[in-house]
Amino acid sequence: MKKFLRYISPLAPDDSGACSVLYELGGITVICDAGGCAGNVCGFDEPRWFTKKSALFSAGLRDMDAILGRDDRLVAKLALAQQQLERDFTAIVGTPVPAVIATDYKALERMAEKKTGVPCITVQTDGTKLYDKGEEEAYLRLFKTFAKEKLPTRKGTAAVIGATPLDTGFITADTIVSQIKAEGFEEVKCIGFDSGLDEVKNISRFEKIFVISPAGIRAGNYLKDNFSLDVEVHGCPLPGEYTDKLKDLRTGGRTLIIHQQMTANAVRDIIGDSTCGTFFMLDKTAAQEGDFHIKDEEDLAEKAKGFDLIIADISLKRALPEYKGEWFDLPHFAVSGRTFQ
Amino acid sequence: MTDAYYITAADLAAKGFENTPDELMSHKHMIYSSPATLDFNSPGAKGFGVKRAGLAIPGSVMLLVAPGCCGRNTALLNELGYNERFFYLLLDDTDIVTGRHLTKIPKACREVCESLDYTPTAVMICITCVDALLGTDMERVCRKCEDETGVPTVPAYMYALTREKRLPPMAGVRKSVYSLLKPQKRISNECNILGYFSHVHDDSELYDLLHSAGIKKVRELSRCSTIDEYHDLSRANFNLVINAEARYAAQDMEKRLGIPFIELTRMYRLDKIRNQYRLLGQALGAEFDDDKYYDKAKTAVDNFISKHGKISAAVGECVNADSFELALALTEYGIKVSEIYGTVGERNFVFIKKLAQVSPDTRIFSNLSPTMLNYERKTDIDVAIGVDAGYYHPDLPCAQFNTEEQPFGYEGVERLLAELDEALAKEEKK
C-alpha cells in the first residue's frame, strides 16, 4: 500500500527542514502549529536545541484560532515576542493546520511586517513533504529577502549552502569548513550553520558558492542568475574517520548508497562505481545515470533487489527483511535522528 | 531585551486567579519549547504522549494516520521496543484538504494485521490536528476497520489544538485505553488505580493501606501483561483516581461498567497526606493505621533538614508532583524555594495563595514564555528539582524526580528527599 510505513518511522518533514535553515540566523521563527510540530522540531529534528539557543517558538494555535482564522492573534503574539526579544526579522513556518484552513501567507507576512517593523518571511510548508523541500524554500526566501545587491567579490572566500544537521549529520560546521578550506579557501562560511544573517545579506561577496545538498540548488541558481556568482555542486563532506573506513571497504558486486544526493556522491567518489538511491530530491545536475528516487518502503524493497552492498542509515535495514547482502552504516539525521558525532 | 518574566507568589496571590498576568497564560503568547513544553508536546524516549500511551493495552498496535511531521519523533520510542507496534499511513497535501484518506484507513488496518504473525488485541488509530479540523467521525471509521479486520479498533485523538479544552488529548487517551473493557461481575475486594501509564512504586504504602482495608487485589493498567489481565480491570469494585487527567476515564467506566471512583491527589505535605488517607478510609469504611508510614517520612524530613540545613531550591514542573504543591511542602519543611517554573491554573492557585503567606518572595516563571530564552539566575539556589529546573541551572545539583514509576504518599516524600540528598551528595564530592 502506498504511503504505508511498516518498518521505518516517518522521515524529517518539510517544516523541520525550514526551521533547520533558519535556526541560527537570529530571527524569531514561529512554527504555525498547536504545539506538536514545534515539539517534533525542538525535541527531535533539531540537535542544536539544547546546545545553541534560538528564538524558535510554537504559535500555540487552538482549535478556534484555526476554525475562525484568527491571524490577527497570531500577529499580535509575534509582535509581543519581537517587543520582548528585539530580533532582526521574523519567520513563519507552515504546518498541516494552516494548510487545512488555507492560510494566506502573503497577508500574514504583510500584517507581521506592519506590526513588528522588521522583515517577515513565510515558508509554506505543510508537514506532508520531506525536509529538503522546506530547506529549499527557506533558502530561497532568505536570499530573495535579504541579499539585495552585488557586493565586490572577496578572493579566497567560499560560502556553503545546504549544510544543516539534517543533511550533513553534523551539529557544527567545523568539518565542512576545514575540508573546504583544505581545497584552497581562506574563509569559508556555511549559511545558517555557525553563521548568522550577515552572511545571507552579504552572500554576493563570496568568490565561490558550494552547494552540498539538493535543497540548496534552487537558491544556488537564484544567486547565479541574480548576482552572477560562481556556484558549484560539491560532495557533502564526511568525517575523516568515516572516510578512512570507507576507503578500507571492500566493494565487490553492485553497491547502493542511500542518502541525500550530495552525501551519496561524496561516498561514491571514495568507493567508486556505485548507484545512489534517495528518498529525497534527485537533482539531475548532481545525479549520475542509474541513480534513482525511492518513493516509499515498498519502492525501497523493490529497488534494493540485486545489490550486494548497501551503504545507508542502519535504521533502514529493518525495511529490507529479505535483503541478504552486506550493510555499511551511513547515518542520516533526516532518517534516523543520528548524527556522526 | 526583556528579562525572563516572573511574578512573586505574593504579587500573584494578591492579583487573584482571574487577573493572572498574560505572561503566565499560554494562549496569550508564543510558546517556548522548554523541556517542560517538550514533555507534553513531544514526549521522547521517556514520558508518555498520546502515541505511547495509546499502546497501553497489552498486545495492541497503533496505526498513526497523519502527515509525516506528526509521527516523526516516534523514532525515539524505537529504543524502548515500540517499533514493532507502530505503523503509519502518511497523508499528502490533497488528503489533508479533502479527507480522502479516510477511505484508505480500513485497508491500511488490514495491512497492519496481515503483516503481523499474530493477531493484535486491538488496533489503536491515532489521528491528529488535521482530522480535528476536518471533523472526522473516527468512531465510524473504527467500526469500518473492525468490519474489515475483525480486530477491535479504537481511536486515539492526538489533537494538540484542543489541549486547553475540557477533554485534552491526554485525558482522551486515558478514556480510549479503558474503552475495550466489558461489564462483568464486580468483586467487592478488588480495585483499580487509575492515573498514570506507569504504576505506582511497589513500596508505596498505598498498597499496604488498601490491603489493610480488606482489598485483596489492586490492579493497574501498566501491570497488565496480557489481554486477560487487562479485562480483569472491569471486575473492580471501585477505581482510585490519583491523577485528575484520569477523571474522565473513571467517569466513563462508572457509566459503562458501573464502577464508582474515588479521587485522591498526590501531595507532599505530610499532614495533608495523612488527612487524605483518613478520608479515604472513611469512604471505604475502614480506619487506616498510617502512623508508621507518617513517622518514617517525618523522620526522613527531619534528618534531611538537620543534614543539609536551610538550603534553597528551584522547583520545575517536569517532576512527579504539582510544582506549586511541592514548593509549598518544601517551604513548610524548612527549604527555601527561590523559584518555581510552572503552569498556573485554577486548581493549583490555592497552593500559590498559601505559598504567598509562607514564602512571599518566591518567583514564579512560566516555562512556556518566550522570555525564558533570556533566563538568567538571579536568586540563590542550591539545588534544582525537576528536569526543567535542571535545564535552567546546568551548573547546580539536580534531583530530576521524574521517573516513569510513580511516587505516591509518604513513600513519595521519602523518595524525593533521598533523591535530593543524592544530588547534593554528588555536588559535595566534586
Ramachandran quadrant class, B394 (left: phi over 0; alpha: psi -120 to 50; beta: rest)? alpha
Residue with cell 543520528: A338
pLDDT of residue B77: 86
At B61-120, the pLDDT tens digits run: 999 999 999 999 888 888 888 989 999 999 999 999 999 999 999 999 999 999 999 999
SS3 (DSSP) at A339: coil
Digit-coded pLDDT (tens) for A148-174: 999 999 999 999 999 999 999 999 999
pLDDT category, B42, cuts 50, 70, 90?
confident
Res B70: pLDDT: 94
Residues of A within 8 A of B134 (CB-CB) are 100
CB-based contact A231:A303 (threshold 8 Å): no
Write the residue in A36, A66, A99 that is nearest to B41 by C-beta. A36
Q: Do B72 and A10 touch (CB under 8 A)?
A: yes
pLDDT at B256 > cutoff 80: yes
| pLDDT score of B44 | 67
- Give residue B164's pLDDT: 78
Instruction: Compute the nearest-CA separation of A123 from chain B (Å).
Output: 15
pLDDT of residue B374: 93
Mean pLDDT of chain A: 96
Among residues A149, A93, A162, the alpha carbon closest in space to that of A121 is found at: A93
Q: Tell the residue number behind the cell numbers 561577496, with chain if given.
A: A205
Cross-chain CB nearest to B73 (options A11, A40, A102):
A40
CB within 8 Å: B32 and A85: no
How deeply is B168 buried, as exposed, middle or buried, from its count of CB atoms within 10 A (0-12, 13-18, 19+)? Answer: middle
Interface test with B, best of A48, A126, A314 (most B CBs within 10 A): A126
pLDDT of B129 = 93
pLDDT, residue A330, reads: 98
SS (H, E, C) A254-285: CEEEECCHHHHHHHHHHHCCCEEEECCCCCCC
Using CB atoms, pick whichever of A37, A44, A60 lies closest to residue B30.
A60
Asked whether the predicted pLDDT for residue B45 surpasses 80, the reply is no
Contacts of A58 in chain B (CB under 8 A): 30-31, 33, 37, 41
Dmax over CA atoms of chain A, in Å, equals 62
Which range among A67-71, A262-266, A335-339, B425-429 shows the weakest confidence by mean pLDDT?
B425-429
pLDDT beyond 70 at A271: yes
Q: pLDDT tens digits, residue range A76-109?
A: 999 999 999 999 999 999 999 999 999 999 999 9
* Residues of chain B neighbouring A66 (CB-CB closer than 8 A): 129, 133, 161
pLDDT, tens digit (0-9, with 9 covering 90-100), for B111-169: 999 999 999 999 999 999 999 999 999 999 999 999 999 999 999 999 888 887 888 99
pLDDT at A119 over 70: yes
> For residues A94 and A37, is the Cβ–Cβ distance under 8 A?
no
How confident is the model at residue B76, as a pLDDT?
84
Q: Please write the tens of the pLDDT for every residue from A185-210.
A: 999 999 999 999 999 999 999 999 99
Q: Taking CB atoms and an 8 Å cutoff, what residues of chain A touch B159?
A: 34, 63
Which residues from chain B sit within 8 angstroms of residue A115, using beta carbons? none
A·B CB contacts under 8 A? 221
- How close A218 comes to chain B (CA, Å)? 22
Distance from CA of B369 to the nearest CA of A (A): 9
Q: Could you tell me which residue, B347 or B164, shows the higher pLDDT?
A: B347
- Is a pLDDT exceeding 90 seen at residue B2? no
CA–CA dist A213, B407 (Å, integer): 49
Average pLDDT estimate for B41-57: 84
3 state SS of A181 = helix
- What is the structure's pLDDT at B1? 66
Write the single-letter amino acid at B371.
T
For residue A77, the chain B residues in CB contact (below 8 A) are 28-30
Confidence of residue A55 (pLDDT cuts 50, 70, 90): very high
Q: What does the pLDDT look like over B293-334, one tens digit per residue?
A: 999 999 999 999 999 998 999 999 999 999 999 999 999 999
Q: Which of B32, B86, B93 sits opposite A128 (nearest CB)?
A: B93
Supply the pTM of this predicted model.
0.94
Which residues have C-beta within 8 Å of that of residue B360, sequence separation ≥ 6?
A: B8, B9, B10
| Grid cell in block for residue A81 | 515576542
Asked if A99 and B97 come within 8 Å (Cβ–Cβ), the reply is yes
pLDDT of residue A254: 96
- Is residue B291 predicted with pLDDT exceeding 90? yes
Cβ separation of A9 and B108 shorter than 8 Å? no
Query: Residue A250: pLDDT band by 50, 70, 90 thresholds?
Result: confident
Confidence of residue A252 (pLDDT cuts 50, 70, 90): confident
| B358-413 confidence digits (pLDDT tens) | 999 999 999 999 999 999 999 999 999 999 999 999 999 999 999 999 999 999 99
B140 SS3 class: helix
Greater confidence (B39 vs B145) lies with B145
To the nearest whole angstrom, how far is the Cα of B139 from the nearest Cα of chain A?
20
Q: Which residues of A touch B165 (CB under 8 A)?
A: 63
Interface test with B, best of A29, A41, A57 (most B CBs within 10 A): A57
Here the cell at position B356 is 504567598
pLDDT band at B430 (very low <50, low <70, confident <90, very high): low
State how far residue A341 is from chain B, nearest Cα, in angstroms.
18
What pLDDT does residue B160 have? 87
Chain B residues near residue A34 by CB distance under 8 angstroms? 129, 159-161, 163
**Residue A290 in this model has a pLDDT that exceeds 90:** yes
Q: What percent of chain A has pLDDT over 70?
A: 100
